[in-house]
Chains A and B, each alone.
Chain A
């Protein structure tokens, strides 16, 4: 399946070159989890970031088990603070 992903903020450096509007499409096997997606993007397994699917935050502890589907609106948001 193909997953549409938006990566927001400094973590967008992990997006493939040529990505437009901070978005990309990742090929993934059926049954792929959030952890698989993070790996597919080339991020460290324990990358600090906020993952939201259809505007619901996925708790860090559920990354290994949370299954993804092609219709999901997936965002990975850089974990900044302050300002």
Chain B
């Protein structure tokens, strides 16, 4: 148990709904969520198909611990071929939707084909319907959730949906659940839009079971207790993820103005202290923090915008509280675009949730457009008359809205920075790996982070490896390959449990393993967790190789490899990828071309 042992398969083209038993052999090999979703994707589609083709498959996957009493057990993942990257995409999210899908009785929801008309899926336990989305097509995520709850007269329904950005296949459109939690990266929302699927509305009453309830309760009591006294948890709850902005600023790893610099002069206006500062008119940005399902950390921020601010002074519909600044949003809209107006950043963050877009990719794309504008490659004629200068808060908020509504220059920004920079003849200005924009960590200061970005199966991503410790200690590429590989394997396993990675500052691998072992059949040892993670990583790699990606896609933009950092601890340094990558391939058991050897595949049962 732990697993519901049921998969819901929906063919949108034919309007078919089928329930099938979960393949338990695969569950024992890939655990759940990210791993199991990847296995089902690999076995159910041809990786060479276009991401926006109906033959792409979209999978919503829960983990064996999703919906249980374990802390942070609200996680689910969306797995597909990414519209932004043309590589495997795995975006996970919190909130309450994932647990509700599990309560409805399903480990996985597999969506195939393309609905002939805009549609949404209603799942009430065994009662599953594909319904017309005509009244909500063209509406925002927030309007969609409101309409569904009121139309079905069920305020407890949990909704995952796309906005207009997803309907129009903005390349980094995301799937938003519970109004401001998102499976954000790689364009999973664009794939959902390409399937004419507006929303998934779920209610579940089946509940979850675990293999050894007594042992599970004991383990969960221990792991909860560890979180309760952890400094790391207290810091996440008190400061939120945006605490990173001060660290990166002082360290010199805060990408600024499209990675031209690594420190930003405006940090004090957008950091956690700024979020809690009371202004002269009495306004304070931060209102409260918020937790996902079953979470005892509550890192989420709930904020509101100053009513006097130019963005909303005449728009009372934005005078409410909603999801506040997370570090990645603050970095991507702030330093990367050179903007230090906290209300403009918060408003643009609201727009990301409202219209369903990944703030990291939007911010990275806008930053590249700002550099193109300052170089004179694009002008006011291209940008609907908006001065796309670094530091212009209006450029940020106007373009966030235009992109969300797929209007004017927003349609170009909706391509993502890789496609946009190629369109204007300057691919070198796109700060991406495999087409996906970087998170807020500069890989000249954090060398192992650069290796993790370059080898990331879903493109540039800071959440699939963890080399922070060695990176902070030493600013060279030496000794980074092994911790990068090991952490990729470990996180692949943790991402497959249904638990949140933000527990990792407190829990060791033994804490995850003990919870999995108590909840699931089979003997889940630490060694097996690592092996499972390695198997998942290699299967993702196999998907990408089959999709046509090569060693050349394991790279970093020229800027990070040849333009030295101008300040901070890495002043004068570039990323040493050329030194780290061969060592990494060797440790992985891959050839010099980055292809898993026969022995590696056999060892992992692939």
The answer, among B243, B327, B571, for a CB contact under 8 Å with A55, is: B571
Which residues from chain A contact B568 at a C-beta distance below 8 Å? 55
Is A41 located at the chain interface by the 8 A CB criterion?
no
Output the residue of B247, B251, B462, B505 with the most chain A CB within 10 A. B247
**From residue B274, how far is it (CB to closest CB) to chain A in Å?**
13
Question: Helix, strand, loop or mixed for chain A's interface?
Answer: mixed
Evaluate whether A10 and B238 lie within 8 angstroms (CB atoms) in the complex, with A77-B251, A79-B472, A82-B463 already known: yes
Query: A8 near B250 (CB under 8 angstroms)?
Result: yes
**From residue A44, how far is it (CB to closest CB) to chain B in Å?**
11
Which residues from chain A contact B440 at a C-beta distance below 8 Å? 83
Q: How many angstroms between the C-alpha atoms of A57 and B569 in the bound complex? A: 7
Is B469 located at the chain interface by the 8 A CB criterion?
yes
Query: B569 near A78 (CB under 8 angstroms)?
Result: no
**From residue A45, how far is it (CB to closest CB) to chain B in Å?**
16
Evaluate whether A82 and B501 lie within 8 angstroms (CB atoms) in the complex, with A50-B251, A77-B247 already known: yes
Is B241 located at the chain interface by the 8 A CB criterion?
yes
**From residue B215, how far is it (CB to closest CB) to chain A in Å?**
29
Which residues from chain A contact B250 at a C-beta distance below 8 Å? 6, 8, 52, 75, 77
Is A16 located at the chain interface by the 8 A CB criterion?
no
**From residue A8, how far is it (CB to closest CB) to chain B in Å?**
5
Is B107 located at the chain interface by the 8 A CB criterion?
no
**From residue A42, how far is it (CB to closest CB) to chain B in Å?**
14
Number of interface residues of B (CB under 8 A): 35
**From residue A3, how far is it (CB to closest CB) to chain B in Å?**
17
Q: How many angstroms between the C-alpha atoms of A54 and B247 in the bound complex? A: 16
Query: B472 near A10 (CB under 8 angstroms)?
Result: no
Q: How many angstroms between the C-alpha atoms of A79 and B473 in the bound complex? A: 10
Is A9 located at the chain interface by the 8 A CB criterion?
yes
Q: How many angstroms between the C-alpha atoms of A80 and B469 in the bound complex? A: 9
A30-59, CB < 8 A from B: 50, 52, 55-57, 59
B206-254, CB < 8 A from A: 231, 234-235, 238-239, 241-244, 246-247, 250-252
Query: B247 near A78 (CB under 8 angstroms)?
Result: yes
B455-469, CB < 8 A from A: 462-463, 466, 468-469
Q: How many angstroms between the C-alpha atoms of A8 and B463 in the bound complex? A: 23
**From residue B181, how far is it (CB to closest CB) to chain A in Å?**
15
Smallest CB-CB separation from B475: which chain A residue?
A57
Query: A8 near B246 (CB under 8 angstroms)?
Result: yes
**From residue A20, how far is it (CB to closest CB) to chain B in Å?**
12
Query: A78 near B235 (CB under 8 angstroms)?
Result: yes
Output the residue of B242, B468, B472 with the most chain A CB within 10 A. B472
Smallest CB-CB separation from B463: which chain A residue?
A82
Q: How many angstroms between the C-alpha atoms of A60 and B474 in the bound complex? A: 10
Query: B235 near A52 (CB under 8 angstroms)?
Result: no
Query: A52 near B462 (CB under 8 angstroms)?
Result: no
Is B534 located at the chain interface by the 8 A CB criterion?
no
Smallest CB-CB separation from A81: which chain B residue?
B468
Q: How many angstroms between the C-alpha atoms of A82 and B327 in the bound complex? A: 9
**From residue B439, how far is it (CB to closest CB) to chain A in Å?**
8
Which residues from chain A contact B48 at a C-beta distance below 8 Å? none
Is B567 located at the chain interface by the 8 A CB criterion?
yes
Query: B474 near A59 (CB under 8 angstroms)?
Result: yes
Output the residue of B246, B468, B469, B571 with the most chain A CB within 10 A. B246
Is B328 located at the chain interface by the 8 A CB criterion?
yes
Query: B504 near A82 (CB under 8 angstroms)?
Result: yes
The answer, among B234, B463, B469, B569, for a CB contact under 8 Å with A79, is: B469
Q: How many angstroms between the C-alpha atoms of A60 and B469 in the bound complex? A: 11
Chain B positions within 8 Å of A, measured between CB atoms, are: 231, 234-235, 238-239, 241-244, 246-247, 250-252, 326-328, 440, 462-463, 466, 468-469, 472-475, 501-502, 504-505, 567-569, 571
Given contacts A9-B247, A52-B251, A57-B569, 18 further A-B contacts (CB under 8 A): A8-B246, A9-B235, A10-B235, A10-B238, A10-B243, A50-B247, A50-B473, A55-B569, A57-B474, A77-B247, A77-B472, A79-B469, A80-B247, A82-B241, A82-B462, A82-B466, A83-B241, A83-B327
* Sample of 6 A–B contacts (CB below 8 Å): A9-B243, A10-B231, A10-B238, A79-B472, A82-B502, A82-B504
6 A-B pairs closest in CB distance:
A83-B241, A83-B327, A81-B468, A10-B235, A83-B244, A8-B250
